[in-house]
Structure 1
């Protein structure tokens, strides 16, 4: 017995370094596996999230996830997660909603939508001027932020082309929507006429008619109901919507160099009216798109 103990001691003395390395490596591997498995698990924080067959709001729904369900994340793509439920069934869910903790009044297709908002101009590009030398870029940013706030209340994923007074070069603006695989793009502007106080009203512009842009412009324009002349839906050859492959529209929400219009443009109440109308218009658009697909 004493001889066996001596042999074991000699063996340990001879191999203690490689043995220690193996133990450390095994411990690290186990710890890393536990961490990775934990990271791939997620608990549903809000009820009634739609599980879809494929990623995207237009994909067919499979089921509804309950609050407190434990899911395993299999894949992440374009803001969507492919997940496995405890019963081994799989599907896709909007990733931003899985991470959301603030309750929603209701989960709608709008909640599962990615929307890019573009506050026109910015930085050295001031845009149009009012008769008292106020810049268009100031009010497009104010308005876009108000719209973003209303959309986020619905659960929608909102991406801004700018959040501050900085220039975003025109050629890069459509890429924001495409790089983020957005469901739609809305650019905010305020018009200008050759001579001050000679024009009034708001117009909803589209460029592409067959990709949903025209339908989106119509749906939002119908819900704006602003205290200015509604000039309707018009074709507009603007780069930010022309070079955009997603449904894309440009909203001119009044004339900067009209004293009558500018009184509204600078008004918080006017901007809020637009901000509250746009989610309704988008929801109607999504509903109509679903009916058309069926």
Structure 2
């Protein structure tokens, strides 16, 4: 009889579900960025992101993953990046309130002040869910699940006149900042002093772009190239605007809107190519508008002179970021990451330095 009882108890423990919590518990995020996944597995799709200090309600646990809700959707986070909070209430990760951006090229910042870094841009008509408000700033949920701050006076929430005095003062500060970027005078050093160049690192966020021979992702290589080229352009006196400065998804429409938000002198989209045939290699320059043909040939010539990869020449193709752009615009394919030789060269410091100099020289020749 004792053996039967013992066996019954053992079976009871084995058939217990993985759910641990009988009621909601509040936990705080202890990681700079914590991905929220659709299922309790590291290879599951990402449906949102949490940041350090965010507090969430946890409903159950499975195999080291906690279930919570983000943006009104059930998701799972790795439990090792959470710790029990003293608070009994969680910060809401969604909001029923929504604001609409009412200005082109509205800057999305890392914090509630114009001194904080720009992490993204929004255009007139973009809608965002409100996470929280602080004085004249609104924290919003972005498309990739991250958050950022926008100036209240540039949104539909500006109808609130209770803070009109402070808003007017800050509006002048933000407007002056925009004008400074848009109307740089030729009073600096370098051939490109006074010119506004928009660099557009392709893909980003949930869009990796092409996948290379060794698992390299186009979005990462494009960002590396953008940073190098930006540094060389700035050394030549140019004012550089990046469509993205981190691993963020930016739609094609947003990239064009950013170009239109400034007095842009040239828009350069940066990409790497791929092909099922490993033998295919080389660099190329694309243009869409006939007015940019000469610009494209100058750019390709400079790339061919500076970069030791096959010269595939200039190509005409109808590409969204070029076709819909009112400014001089090119798209560069800086090598095939599916070709063994190209990918080895692409990852060298000398290659990065060479493409930075090539783009800078091409722009200098184009403008002068």
Q: Distance in 1 between matches of 2:236 and 2:351?
A: 21
Greater relative contact order structure (CA < 8 Å, 6+ sep): 1
1:148 is matched with which residue: 210, 226, 230?
230
Instruction: Answer whether contact 2:183 2:263 (CA < 8 A) is retained.
Output: no
Instruction: Answer whether contact 1:118 1:186 (CA < 8 A) is retained.
Output: yes
1:192 is matched with which residue: 270, 274, 280?
274
Q: What is the TM-score normalised by the length of structure 1? A: 0.61
Give the structure 2 partner of residue 80 of structure 1.
Answer: 183
Give 1:196 shift: 3.9
What's the CA shift string for 1:87-122, capped at 9, x where partnerless?
Answer: xxxxxx35xx5xxxxxx6x443x1110000000011
Q: Distance in 1 between matches of 2:219 and 2:181?
A: 30
1:57-68 to 2 correspondences below 5 Å: none
Give the structure 2 partner of residue 135 of structure 1.
Answer: 217
- Larger helix share, 1 or 2: 1
Give the structure 2 partner of residue 215 of structure 1.
Answer: 294
What's the CA shift string for 1:15-42, capped at 9, x where partnerless?
Answer: xxxxxxxxxxxxxxxxxxxxx9xx9xxx
Give the structure 1 partner of residue 355 of structure 2.
Answer: 274
SS at 2:210 equivalent: coil
Q: Distance in 1 between matches of 2:325 and 2:286?
A: 13
Give the structure 1 partner of residue 312 of structure 2.
Answer: 231
Give the structure 1 partner of residue 198 of structure 2.
Answer: 116
Give 1:161 shift: 0.3
Q: What is the TM-score normalised by the length of structure 2? A: 0.49
1:1-294 to 2 correspondences below 5 Å: 79-80=182-183, 93-94=185-186, 106-108=189-191, 110-193=192-275, 195-210=276-291, 213-224=292-303, 225=305, 226-287=307-368
Flag the 1:107–1:135 CA change in 2: closer, same or farther, 3 A: closer
Instruction: Answer whether contact 1:131 1:196 (CA < 8 A) is retained.
Output: no
Number of residue-to-residue matches in the alignment? 192
What's the CA shift string for 1:56-112, capped at 9, x where partnerless?
Answer: xxxxxxxxxxxxxxxxx9xx576227xxxxxxxxxxx35xx5xxxxxx6x443x111
Q: Distance in 1 between matches of 2:227 and 2:190?
A: 22
- Larger strand share, 1 or 2: 2
What's the CA shift string for 1:165-220, capped at 9, x where partnerless?
Answer: 11101111111111112011000000111x2413011000000012xx22221111
SS at 1:111 equivalent: coil
The structure having more radius of gyration, on CA atoms, is: 1
What's the CA shift string for 1:237-288, capped at 9, x where partnerless?
Answer: 211111111000000011111111111122221111000111111111111x
Unaligned runs of 5+ in 2: 1-168
Instruction: Answer whether contact 2:190 2:235 (CA < 8 A) is retained.
Output: no
Instruction: Answer whether contact 2:199 2:226 (CA < 8 A) is retained.
Output: yes
Flag the 1:143–1:133 CA change in 2: closer, same or farther, 3 A: same
Unaligned runs of 5+ in 1: 1-35, 40-72, 82-92, 98-103, 288-294
Q: Distance in 2 between matches of 1:79 and 1:170?
A: 22
Kindly report the root-mean-square deviation, in angstroms, between the aligned alpha carbons of the 2 structures.
2.2
SS at 1:175 equivalent: helix
